[in-house]
Structure 1
Amino acid sequence: MSEEMRPRLTAEERREQILAAASVVFGERGYAGGTTDAIAKEAGVSQAYVVRMFGGKENLFRAAADRAAARVRFAFRDTIAGFRGDEDLDEKRLALSMAYIGLMADRGLLLTLLHLFSLGHDPVLGPVARDCFLDVFRVVRDEAGFTGPEATEFFSRGMLTTVLLAMRIPDSAGRPEADELMSCAFGERTTDLISLMQGQVPLDDAAR
């Protein structure tokens, strides 16, 4: 079904539809391997429609990366808004960690951020990567009330979590060293994450 025959969506809904597809494609194939054609197929629209809306792959990747970072900021701010004011550091850290891990149901978001961070050398996307990371850092430091060292330690563990999920470490569940590592990194969410990874499938062949 062409996009003209689909139920009419608002421009913002169409944009979100394409960015969600871009997150899937860029997440699996990276910036170099992702194409506007593959993204269009994943979104169920024409390549020309994607290009008209975003103007090319670089702009589309940047928009997908901005979307991913915004979802992290929103999840953190939503968690912070629920603080009572008497939480200690460990309670804040756990709440924010749980919010971040909860986002990983969207594997494309996770991998799009990792691909973005690997493009620090790029004259256009490098500044986007740095701004993205520093914006989230400021949310944790300033809005959650962490000190600089506390926020740095939080992000150190967060990057470990990101890398472990990107390599699908839950696929090694049952190996003693993997189980120990996941227990230390994910705590009570370990079982949920194993189930989550098992439910994720690669990009459909039709979109390659």
Structure 2
Amino acid sequence: MSQEAFYASGILTSQETVDSLFSQPVPPLAYMFQLKDGVDAETIARALEVTFVKHGMQAEVMADEIRENASASVMINNLLQGFMGLGLLVGIAALGVVAARSVVERRKQIGVLRALGFQKSMVQFSFLLESSFVALLGIGLGVALGAGLSVQIIGAMKEYFASITYQVPWINIMAVVIIAYGASLLTTYLPARQAAKIYPAEALRFE
């Protein structure tokens, strides 16, 4: 069986079934052979090519074709996950930049809070809480939109592959959520710590 025949659309059936359905003879596009256990499929494929070399036969091992298709799918999936990781990295870095800018813009407000008796830990906690809210909101929306989109894609694919099933990889999702949330807190920790170290007198005369 040639690689073109493996990827071509058509009907996989016996010659008897084709002869019973069509009045005109329909030549087969490919032949499939089921080998006994212990027989080397690669050796048989090469022997078939040598035997039918005048007819230009190309013999392929089905297991090898399936593995190649699976490896290509895994490669595409890894590429998409790499883009997802890059997007998470950019988003986390942007959250850290926003937190640092927020400290600079609200320097006087922080000084007023410190003058009113707010402890350093309270100021730091307020910035971490704000960043946590933004991070959790973004993560939650991302997971919800991703799950909804995947359901739509699987639903559309079921029209062509009836046996396909939808399984949510909860372990992978939880790992991504924990890593993203932890990294977002880590990037906002330094700006929050910087905000907690602001002295009231210094902040109030800052322009």
Q: What is the TM-score normalised by the length of structure 2?
A: 0.28
Return the index of the structure with the highest Cα Rg: 2
Asked which structure has the greater RCO (Cα within 8 Å, sep 6+), the reply is 2
Q: What is the TM-score normalised by the length of structure 1?
A: 0.28
